Structure 1
């Protein structure tokens, strides 16, 4: 059993590539926002924000392809079952292709339903529709990339995941700048850059997985890939993670929709803060992903002591990182806002609400870590129940708070949402240790 120092080093070895690769993801969003933020109107920022929000639903609604794959692969690895390690990826890729193709086929009704629910000015909606119509073609590649990344995390091959993510996001940024600033393709160029980058990442990710696949394991048969017991377990976990993720995304959609009701300037300011939240969230996810891999391995070995070591070590690292990010936001937030947008009214509005986003990392880190713990344990039911409860509480609390305090009330309700997520998951934690040895 590893001592505390060894475990801390192992956590850091797993976490730093994920932190680094994750931070490239919101960097792409920052570039998207910055490119349109220097155009001549605030509605361009809002259009990208609402369009991105819609794809958060489409892609992260299927986030179980990444999260569920990590948990099952980590447990198969801990149990020493190489064939199941490969089969877990095969099942996830099949689902990714099916769901991604369905997104394209159903793009018209998805678009109409989404924009019937979302509220924004006519200019914002037109920009968002343009963005959606192009980016939806990336869906099959994006969802398969989720599966590949989940497999790499489950195998604790975080550096390989870093390579794939760096390639996707580097291609995205380079094409984004070229299409918009050189070719003057506007919001269409932003969307097209994302499509090309996702397919490039899929090709590289497939090559990486081929290289890292266990050589002593045989290729699973079709019967093993479609094993009813395995599929039933996967679909049960995936269903619960899907509902949990849908609740998370609904909270984000509610936040942005309430922002839109407060006017284009407030919407643009909160969209700028979305870049802050993405950087913090993706950075903290590095330790959450480390928790997924280590907790899954501990569950596979049926070891209570390893489970506790994994939870404690990853949470310590995440707490330190949360404080660091909060400090950066507090002292450098104004400069970051000015870099993202040159629209003075948006800058002024953002500065008023900057303390809320500076507090975000410290408020969010606990729920992020517990999410990682429960994903690694493939305990989707507890995550689902917790998130649905928190979403309902958020909406109930936010409506009167927004009516009374405007955007300050909206951020107060969202902060409450983050804290209650952590408290409810912590209450479920003892269930994870039941039935484990030592």
Structure 2
């Protein structure tokens, strides 16, 4: 590794390391929103009610899944620290515990979520036209939750081991299978929105099996036991608690936004569904650098190298800002073409055009935000992230309430989301400038 005169890695070396992890992670991350974007493009041809049902059902399912994102993020940080400390068997063992925890949570979500599906859809305020499609989509999709959670945990293990290429290969395969199956089930067999959900469930389940086998092979090579370990499961669950609080605060914002959009009308929730999926696609693309931040920061701090952790953080933040600007320009350039890909309804198209303008303008803020979020996760600074998540959600809620009470449209709703983005960025920049998160060793703060 090339070095500067002060002994720190040169900027080019940091860039190569960031790109080595971030480029494959980008491909893997965008597969998730591409699932729903593909679903949106296919289901959109079934009508506005079906597209709105996908919006409500997809958002509800996303809430359930994203509560469990600690299976990926927490595992990445924990495994990376053990790798930095030179203890590979311990890293693999933590990954195995994460896989078993994912299986247990996934089955519990399926059992509990199935009878509650109509209530969940009603809580989102879906109209009588949208609700049946939302219930159908969500009930079928619940069967894919165990596979998707195992995918999250398996992805976290491999990222912590500094391997983002394998998740890329698996994600591309899952996306291709999802697109082919959805098209066949919806258009070929005429199964409607239920066919779209079934295609995604099938792809998610196969992907989970692939990740489970990948972790199993690594465990066998290191002579690590793969049977469930209650102490390890409790430790993994405890470590994820603060990340769950952080994630719940994020989901509150997204759920409230969906509820507000739903109460505006069917055209608005249909447009919000598409706009949100575009936002989520760009967010996860930016999150590729955050994934690099999790893996790099965890490894450096595990090895006790605070200087490299700080230098890499600054460089990754620059990358996040640059990528945010590029994504904003790309979206502005294609904004006029996107609505026609998802719907033929003129009202939905008009709502979507205004929404995409705000989504584009938020990208330069989102870039460094996602990077710093990933860095602090990699550092194990979960308690701060939980507190900051709650505080910034409190900032957002009055803005969303004003949009609802004053009858604001989708543009006003996206501007309220922009206030939340700015509040999150401010808190993370303040934290990153300090030293409280720079805890070294195999176990983070």
**Both proteins in one fold, TM over 0.5:** yes
**Are the counterparts in 2 of residues 18 and 161 from structure 1 also a CA contact under 8 Å?**
yes
Distance 2:111 2:296 in 1: 38
Distance 2:180 2:411 in 1: 36
Corresponding residue of 2:36 = 29
**Matching of residue 5 in structure 1 with residue 12 in structure 2:** yes
Distance 1:387 1:126 in 2: 33
Distance 1:352 1:141 in 2: 36
Higher mean alpha-carbon deviation, 365-374 vs 122-131, is at 365-374
Q: SS state of the match for residue 344, structure 2?
A: coil
C-alpha distance 28-17 of structure 1, shift in aligned 2 (>3 A): same
1:134-283 alignment, distance < 5 Å:
134-212=140-218, 215=221, 217-220=222-225, 225-227=229-231, 234-283=236-285
Q: SS state of the match for residue 323, structure 1?
A: helix
Pick aligned residue for 2:431 from 389, 412, 428: 428
Corresponding residue of 2:103 = 97
Higher mean alpha-carbon deviation, 108-117 vs 340-349, is at 108-117
Corresponding residue of 1:14 = 21
TM-score (norm 2): 0.92
Q: How many residues align?
A: 432
Distance 1:382 1:205 in 2: 31
**Matching of residue 55 in structure 1 with residue 61 in structure 2:** yes
Q: SS state of the match for residue 42, structure 2?
A: helix
The structural deviation recorded for 1:112 is: 4.0
Q: SS state of the match for residue 218, structure 1?
A: coil
**1:45-65 deviation digits (Å, cap 9, x = unpaired):** 110011111111111111111
**Matching of residue 82 in structure 1 with residue 107 in structure 2:** no
Higher mean alpha-carbon deviation, 17-26 vs 280-289, is at 17-26
TM-score (norm 1): 0.94
Corresponding residue of 2:51 = 45
Pick aligned residue for 1:332 from 311, 315, 334: 334
Q: SS state of the match for residue 190, structure 2?
A: coil
**1:30-59 deviation digits (Å, cap 9, x = unpaired):** 1111111122x3111110011111111111
Distance 1:395 1:194 in 2: 32
Corresponding residue of 1:369 = 371
The structural deviation recorded for 1:379 is: 1.6
Unaligned runs of 5+ in 1: none
Distance 1:70 1:325 in 2: 26
**Are the counterparts in 2 of residues 237 and 381 from structure 1 also a CA contact under 8 Å?**
no
Pick aligned residue for 1:132 from 118, 128, 138: 138
The structural deviation recorded for 1:362 is: 1.6
**Matching of residue 115 in structure 1 with residue 121 in structure 2:** yes
Higher mean alpha-carbon deviation, 307-316 vs 376-385, is at 307-316
Higher mean alpha-carbon deviation, 403-412 vs 9-18, is at 403-412
Deviating runs (4+, > 6 A) in structure 1? Answer: none
Corresponding residue of 1:395 = 397
The structural deviation recorded for 1:426 is: 2.3
Distance 1:106 1:436 in 2: 40
After superposition, the CA RMSD in angstroms is 1.9
Q: SS state of the match for residue 335, structure 1?
A: coil
Q: SS state of the match for residue 334, structure 1?
A: coil
Distance 1:124 1:388 in 2: 31
The structural deviation recorded for 1:376 is: 0.6
Distance 1:436 1:108 in 2: 43
Distance 1:107 1:214 in 2: 35
